[in-house]
Amino acid sequence: MSSWSQVLTLSSASAWDEVFTDLHGASRIKVPDRHAPWSGRLEWQRSKSYGLALCSGGEEVVHRDVRHIRSDPRGTYELLVPLAGTAWVEQGSSSVEIGPGSMALCDIDRPLTFAHGAELRGISFFMAGQNVAGRSPIAAGGPHILSGAGGLGRVVRQLTTTLHEEREQLSETTFDIACDRLLDLVCLAAEGGNDSAPTGQRATVEASIRRYVRRHACDRDLDVVGIARALGWSARYVQQVLQAANTTSRDLIRRERLNVARTRLVSASWSTYSIAEIAHSCGFGSHASFATAFREEFGTTPREARRSARSA
């Protein structure tokens, strides 16, 4: 098993408390009898961006209040997916019982009460709060109770279960990519299944994408996946935002590279470099492809642009 995966079997309530607070943050945990035998199990997969935990244990009531949040902020959201048994979740004005046919999406850094019996067995999907907010202000404004009985909610439930079952077969990179897709679906389900990018922050998101591309335009491996990962969103969401702005990641990267190239062509500090060398420094694979793109964008050739600057 990889170093980023753990399986723990716990025989005391105090040991369970330690593991639970490590996952969810500082909390006050009540159990019927702390001296009674305890049977708890945790199967945990963790990357830098996501976490997935299958938990089962005894009866407990968990309170995470303002004091706990101030002392131990997590900046994470949790999707609780019961596989057996039931749990009671209260956050804000929402108070609901969930079972195998439903799921709860909660902000760990808002006061929360969580209670369940010894029969509960469920999977928790942990995700960074900034990733949730970047995709969907609606999802970030929860809590949300999602139906897992059919439609998109059922897909979310099945993908969460499959990710846990196949965790040992996935590299950390592959695990993160799969979790990106799962987070996309969770946000869509929280929005009611609307298959489009949230509109509330599109202008802000678009500006962030353009700034990142401008700063990294000359990175040869720059693509939509790299942009999305660097900014904490999914590639699909980045594509949707750019599509709404009537462009694509490929066109945006090409345009910014051409702007950098034009600046270098007329700069005295780049005068000793050939046009081919400038093209290569800006991320273009060949002189010919660069010259064609440059002419299409600016209506002149790179050589003519350099000659005109020198004449001026």
Among residues 112, 103, 116, the alpha carbon closest in space to that of 182 is found at 103
Give residue-wise pLDDT tens across range 17-53: 888 888 889 999 999 988 888 888 889 898 988 999 9
User: At 4, is the pLDDT very low, low, confident or very high (cuts 50, 70, 90)?
Assistant: low
User: At 229, is the pLDDT very low, low, confident or very high (cuts 50, 70, 90)?
Assistant: confident
* Neighbour-count burial of 237, counting CB atoms closer than 10 A to its CB (0-12 exposed, 13-18 middle, 19+ buried): buried
Above 60 in pLDDT, residue 230?
yes
Q: Which CATH architecture has domain 5-190?
A: Sandwich (2.60)
Token pair of 213 as six digits: 């591309």
pLDDT score of 201: 63
User: In this structure, how many other beta carbons lie within 10 angstroms of the beta carbon of residue 44?
Assistant: 21
> Strands 144-147, 87-91: parallel, antiparallel or unpaired by DSSP?
unpaired
Above 80 in pLDDT, residue 202?
no
Calculate what percentage of the chain has a pLDDT beyond 70: 94
User: At 194, is the pLDDT very low, low, confident or very high (cuts 50, 70, 90)?
Assistant: very low
- Fold for domain 196-312? Arc Repressor Mutant, subunit A (1.10.10)
Q: How far apart are CA 85 and CA 90, in angstroms?
A: 17
Above 60 in pLDDT, residue 231?
yes
Mean pLDDT along residues 224-238 = 79
Q: Return the domain boundaries, the chain.
A: 5-190, 196-312
